[in-house]
C-alpha cells in the first residue's frame, strides 16, 4: 500500500470548491427514480442519462472532484463507443465505484439490516482498479425507530456488525490501492428529533472509528461519508439550518479524528436547497480539522432528472440543471453560497 498516494487521492476528492457526484444508484434504485419521471429503466436509458451528466464538461471540471459509479456503468460505453469512465477522466474527475452488494436482514435483530459484499471483494477491487477506479464506496444503513417486534432500534448489535463490515471493506480497499469512502448512514426516515439523530450518529461514528483502528485502516487514506444531524422527516420539531450546522459540526468534532482528510456528506432525502444550505452553514463555522464537502445523489440529480425526463431534446436543459446544482454545492463547500444565487439562476 502506498499511503502517500492514497492520501493524495483522498485530498483531491475533497478539493475546496468541488465535491462528489453519487451516480451509483443500483438497478432497483435508478428504476424508482426513472418511474418518478416516467422513463423506462432500460440499459440504454440508464446509459443516456448518465452520459448526459458526464458530458456536462464545464460543470464536471469546475465543481466535481469524483463520480461514484455502479458496476453496470463502469463497464458501459457512451453512444459513440467511448467508455463512460473515459468521459469522466477527460474532465479531470476521479472515477469511483460502489462495491457493496446491498443489504440483508440481520438475524435476531428484527427490522435491522447488514450490508453485504465482502466475499470476493479483493478480486473485484483489483478489476475495478485496472479499469481506472481510484476510490470506492460502501454504505451501511442504520434506521432509527421501532423494530418489527416493537423494540427501540438501532440495537448495538446492528451498529457493531455494520461497523465491522465497513472496516473490513476499508482495509481491503487500501490494500488494493483504492481510497475507501466509509459511509455509515443513519436514515432520516421517522419522527425522531435532532437530539435522537445526534445520539445515534455519535454511537455509530464512535463504533466505526473503533473498528477502523482495530483493523488498521489508515485514516489519512480514507474519506468519511456521514449523514448530517437532522430531525426525522416526520418530526414535529424540524431543526433550523443553523441548528443542523452547529450540531453536525459539534458531533463530528467529537467523533472524527483530524487525520481524516475530508468528510463528504450524503443528502439522504433532504431537499436540494436544504442540502446546499446545511453544507454552506457548516463551512461558515470554520476553521475545521477536515475539509467538508458533498457526495450527493438525489440533491444533485433530482433537478436534472426532471429537466431531462428521458427526451433527447432535453439534454441541454438537463445539463444546465445539473450544472446549477453542482455550482451551488461547490460554493457551499467554501461557505460562499447564498439563497439569492438560487433565485438569480431560476
Ligand atoms: P443521497 O445523496 O441521495 O443520499 O445519495 C448519496 C449516496 O451515495 C447514498 O449512498
pLDDT digits (tens, 9 = 90+) for 187-246: 999 999 999 999 999 999 999 999 999 999 999 999 999 999 999 999 999 999 999 999
For residue 346, what pLDDT is reported? 52
The conformation of residue 310, written as its DSSP 8-state character, comes to T
Mean pLDDT, residues 321-329: 98
For residue 23, what pLDDT is reported? 98
Mean pLDDT, residues 153-175: 99
Mean pLDDT, residues 299-325: 98
For residue 256, the CA-to-ligand 1 centroid distance in Å is 20
The torsion angles phi and psi of 183, rounded to 5 degrees, stand at -120, 95
Closest-lying ligand 1 atom to the alpha carbon of residue 22: 8
What percent of the chain is modeled with pLDDT above 70? 99
Whether pLDDT at 179 is above 90: yes
Cis amide leading into 26 (omega within 30): no
For residue 148, what pLDDT is reported? 82
Q: What angle do CA 308, 314, 316 make, to 5 degrees?
A: 105
Q: Where are the beta strands (DSSP E) in 50-106?
A: 64-69, 94-98, 103-105
Helix (H, G, I), strand (E, B) or coil at 336: coil
Closest C-alpha to 138, from 105, 175, 171, 112: 171
Pocket lining: 296 vs ligand 1, CB cutoff 6 Å: yes
Residue 150: CB atoms within 10 Å:
8
CA-to-CA dists, residue 342 to 18, 21, 241, 275, angstroms: 18, 19, 16, 13
Mean pLDDT, residues 281-300: 98
Q: If you average pLDDT over every residue of the chain, what do you get? A: 98
Q: Where are the beta strands (DSSP E) in the chain?
A: 19-23, 64-69, 94-98, 103-105, 113-115, 135-142, 145-146, 152-153, 179-186, 223-224, 262-265, 291-296
Pocket lining: 187 vs ligand 1, CB cutoff 6 Å: no
Say if residues 262 and 294 touch (Cβ distance below 8 Å).
Answer: no
For residue 188, what pLDDT is reported? 97
Mean pLDDT, residues 301-321: 98
pLDDT tier, 149 (very low <50, low <70, confident <90, very high otherwise):
confident
Residue 55: CB atoms within 10 Å:
18
For residue 28, the CA-to-ligand 1 centroid distance in Å is 14
What does pTM read for this prediction?
Answer: 0.98
The conformation of residue 67, written as its DSSP 8-state character, comes to E
Q: Supply the residues annotated as catalytic.
A: 183, 225
Pocket lining: 266 vs ligand 1, CB cutoff 6 Å: yes
For residue 345, what pLDDT is reported? 62
For residue 174, the CA-to-ligand 1 centroid distance in Å is 22
What percent of the chain is modeled with pLDDT above 90? 98
Q: Which three cell numbers stand for residue 198?
A: 445526534
Q: Which three cell numbers stand for residue 3?
A: 499511503
For residue 296, what pLDDT is reported? 98
Pocket lining: 299 vs ligand 1, CB cutoff 6 Å: yes
For residue 343, what pLDDT is reported? 83
Say if residues 137 and 184 touch (Cβ distance below 8 Å).
Answer: no
Residue 207: CB atoms within 10 Å:
21
Helix (H, G, I), strand (E, B) or coil at 130: helix
CA-to-CA dists, residue 71 to 127, 313, 315, angstroms: 11, 28, 24
Q: At what angle do helices 272-283 and 315-332 cross, to 10 degrees?
A: 30
Whether pLDDT at 302 is above 60: yes
Amino acid at each position: 500500500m502506498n499511503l502517500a498516494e492514497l492520501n493524495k487521492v483522498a485530498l483531491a476528492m475533497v478539493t475546496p470548491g468541488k465535491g462528489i457526484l453519487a451516480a451509483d444508484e443500483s438497478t432497483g434504485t435508478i428504476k424508482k427514480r426513472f418511474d418518478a419521471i416516467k422513463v423506462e429503466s432500460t440499459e440504454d436509458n440508464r446509459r443516456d442519462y448518465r452520459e448526459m451528466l458526464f458530458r456536462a464538461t464545464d460543470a464536471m471540471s469546475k465543481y466535481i472532484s469524483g463520480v461514484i459509479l455502479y458496476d453496470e456503468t463502469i463497464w458501459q460505453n457512451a453512444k459513440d463507443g467511448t467508455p463512460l469512465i473515459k468521459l469522466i477522466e477527460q474532465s479531470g474527475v476521479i472515477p469511483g465505484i460502489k462495491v457493496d452488494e446491498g443489504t440483508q436482514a440481520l438475524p435476531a435483530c428484527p427490522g435491522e439490516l447488514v450490508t453485504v459484499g465482502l466475499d470476493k471483494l479483493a478480486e473485484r477491487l483489483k478489476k475495478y482498479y485496472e479499469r481506472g477506479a481510484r476510490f470506492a464506496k460502501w454504505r451501511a444503513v442504520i434506521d432509527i425507530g421501532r423494530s418489527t417486534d416493537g423494540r427501540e432500534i438501532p440495537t448495538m448489535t446492528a451498529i457493531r456488525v455494520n461497523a465491522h463490515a465497513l472496516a473490513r471493506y476499508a482495509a481491503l480497499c487500501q490494500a488494493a490501492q483504492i481510497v475507501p469512502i466509509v459511509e455509515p448512514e443513519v436514515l432520516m426516515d421517522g419522527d425522531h428529533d435532532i437530539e435522537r439523530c445526534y445520539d445515534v450518529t455519535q454511537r455509530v461514528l464512535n463504533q466505526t472509528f473503533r473498528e477502523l483502528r482495530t483493523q488498521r485502516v489508515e485514516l489519512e487514506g480514507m474519506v468519511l461519508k456521514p449523514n448530517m444531524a437532522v430531525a426525522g422527516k416526520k418530526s414535529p420539531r424540524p431543526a433550523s439550518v443553523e441548528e443542523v450546522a452547529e450540531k453536525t459540526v459539534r458531533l463530528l468534532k467529537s467523533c472524527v479524528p483530524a487525520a481524516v482528510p475530508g468528510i463528504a456528506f450524503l443528502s439522504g432525502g433532504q431537499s436540494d436547497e436544504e442540502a446546499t444550505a446545511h453544507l454552506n452553514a457548516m463551512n461558515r463555522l470554520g476553521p475545521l480539522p477536515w475539509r467538508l464537502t458533498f457526495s450527493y445523489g438525489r440533491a444533485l440529480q433530482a433537478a436534472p432528472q426532471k429537466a431531462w425526463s428521458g427526451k433527447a431534446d432535453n439534454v441541454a436543459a438537463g445539463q444546465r440543471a445539473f450544472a446549477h446544482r453542482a455550482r451551488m454545492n461547490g460554493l457551499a463547500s467554501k461557505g460562499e453560497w447564498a439563497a439569492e444565487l438560487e433565485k438569480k439562476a431560476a
